[in-house]
Every structure is written in C-alpha cells, then in structure tokens.
Structure 1
Amino acid sequence: MKIPTTLKHKPVVVSENYDRIDGRLARNTDAKGLSLGLTQSNDRGKTNLSAKVWRYTGENWSSQSEELPLHRVLDMSILICRSLVHFREAYRYEHFYDPHEPIIDRVALQGDAMTVAICTDNERINEDIKLFSQALSDDDEMISERLRMLSKILKDMGY
C-alpha cells in the first residue's frame, strides 16, 4: 500500500511494508507505513523534518496517524533505552522502583536535561509498573533485535 503524498506531511524516505514487521501486531495492524519527510508549519511557511506512522483503517488513511519531529523520535529512543536499563535491575525493589526516589535519570540535552522518572501520579502505578515490566520481558527478543540493529548502524556511522 502506497503512503499518501498529497497531505501536509511530505514523505521523503518511506517504509511501506511496516505492517509486516510491527512487533507483536505484525500482519494484523493498521500501521501500514513509516516515513521521514517534510511538514509545513504555520510559522511563515517554515519546513520541519518529521517522522510519521501511517495508519489505514481499510477504507481511508486514519486521523490517528502520528507525526513526530525527528528529535522527538530520538528523544523517545533515549527514554526507551534508559527505561530498559532501569527495568533490568527493577526486581530489586518491592514495587519495581524506589518510591522515595522515582527519578531514574537526568539525561543532559541542549543545556538542560531530560528527566526520566516513574510516574508516581498514576494512582495504579504499583499494578501498572508490574504489567509494564512483564510486557518488557515478554517483548525482550523483539526489542533486543532492534536495539542490536540500531547499535550496529550507530557504530557504522561512527557513534
């Protein structure tokens, strides 16, 4: 299925077969493609780079398709990786985190830092964090495969 090119997001690099590899949802997902491209902002025609997940309902392209600026995709990757590190050792805590110190890390970026923390505002955090930890464990092989590939590509790029 071809990703639309007539919308505000203008695809430049695409993966049009994403539905075949969408993790546990592979071959049974509405996420049909990923793209990196250009988006027109309202700031005097300024062009921005973005990544987009394209969803297709079977009849039309969904308004739930998601577009993210590239730096946010990378920030999300940092958040995922730092969370994975935390959950490798989370079994040491009764509730998979230290309630007295819910901040996992502060990652320095652009003169400030991204705080990575357990969401203690979640009323059901003790239940939800166990489910999250179990899901990470269940998906370990799939996540690890992607992290190994990302690591290889980053090393090839000199990072």
Structure 2
Amino acid sequence: MKIPATLQHKPVVVSENYERVDGRLARSTDAKGLSLGLAQWNDSEKATLTAKVWRTAGKSWSSQSEELPLHRVLDLSILLCRSLAHFREAYRYEHLYDPQEPVIDRVALQGDAMTVAICTDNESIHEDIQLFSRALSNDDEMISERLRTLSRILKDMGY
C-alpha cells in the first residue's frame, strides 16, 4: 500500500516497505509504512515536523496510525537507551531495580531534565518488570542491530 499524500499528515520522506522490517512482526504487521513530514495540526505560521507510523485495518488506513513530533521520537530513543543500560545491570537487584531509588537517570534537556524511572505506581511492577526484562533479552539481537546502525549513522553525521 502506498502511503497517502492527500491526508492531513503531509509525508516528505517515506519508508513504504516497513511491514518487511517491523521486528518480530515483520511480514505479519499492520504497520505498513513510516514517514517524516508535516504535522496534521500545522498552521501557516510554523511547520511542525513529525514522524508517523502508518497502520492498516484491512484495506483502509487505521485510526491507530500515530503521528509524533520528531523531538518525541528522539526522547523515546533516549528513554529506550537509558532503559537498556539499566537492564544490563539490573540482575544485581532482587526485583531488577532498587525500590529505594527507582530513578534510573535524569537526562539534561533544554534547561531541565527528563527523569527516567521505574514505574512504582504499577501495582504489578514486580511481575511486569520481569516480563519486560525477558522481552528485552529476547529482542536483544534485533534492538542491537538497530542501535549499531543508528550509532554508525550518527557518527557519519558528526555526532
């Protein structure tokens, strides 16, 4: 399916074969494409750049397709990387985190810091963190491949 260019999100750069590379869901996913473009809520004064995951519900585009501002995509990447770093050493804790200090990190961003922490408000955190850790371990090869690729691209760009 071609990503529509006539809807409110205006794609500029696309990956229309995403269903072939969507991790463990490859070839059986409803996520058919990714795009970078102009936000659906743009006004004529200022363009907001966004990333969008295009999902299908059979033959039509799904309302579950999601558009994110680019800084949020990067913030999610930061959250993921700090979480991966935590879980590499989490075996040291009985519950895979220190209940007395659930904050993993504070990442400085534009005058403040993004807190990365274990969600202690989750009533099932002890079970859920075990499942999360196992899933990270199971997906390590796939995640690592993407992180190595991202690292190489960032180095090529001078970061």
Q: Same fold (TM over 0.5)?
A: yes
Contact kept? 2:19, 2:30, Cα under 8 Å: yes
Q: Are 2:144 and 1:116 aligned?
A: no
| Alpha-carbon distance between aligned partners in 2 of 1:91 and 1:113, rounded to the nearest angstrom | 26
Contact kept? 1:15, 1:33, Cα under 8 Å: yes
| Alpha-carbon distance between aligned partners in 2 of 1:158 and 1:96, rounded to the nearest angstrom | 35
Q: Are 2:59 and 1:59 aligned?
A: yes
- AA matched with 2:39: T
Map 1:10-29 to 2 at 5 A: 10-29=10-29
Q: Which residue of 2 aligns with 1:133?
A: 133
Q: Which residue of 2 aligns with 1:154?
A: 154
Q: Which residue of 2 aligns with 1:9?
A: 9
| Alpha-carbon distance between aligned partners in 2 of 1:44 and 1:144, rounded to the nearest angstrom | 40
Contact kept? 1:55, 1:64, Cα under 8 Å: yes
Aligned length: 159
Question: Alpha-carbon deviation of 1:45?
Answer: 5.4
Q: Which residue of 2 aligns with 1:78?
A: 78
Question: Alpha-carbon deviation of 1:7?
Answer: 1.1
Question: Alpha-carbon deviation of 1:39?
Answer: 1.4
**Where in structure 1 do 4 or more consecutive aligned residues deviate above 3 Å?**
42-46
Q: Secondary structure at the match of 1:136?
A: helix
- AA matched with 1:34: L
Counting aligned pairs with the same residue, the percent is 82
**CA deviation digits over 1:71-128, x for unaligned, max 9?**
0000000000000000000000000000000000000000000000000000000000
Q: Secondary structure at the match of 1:8?
A: coil
Structure 2 portions without partners, runs of 5+: none
TM-score, with normalisation over the residues of structure 1?
0.97
RMSD: 1.1
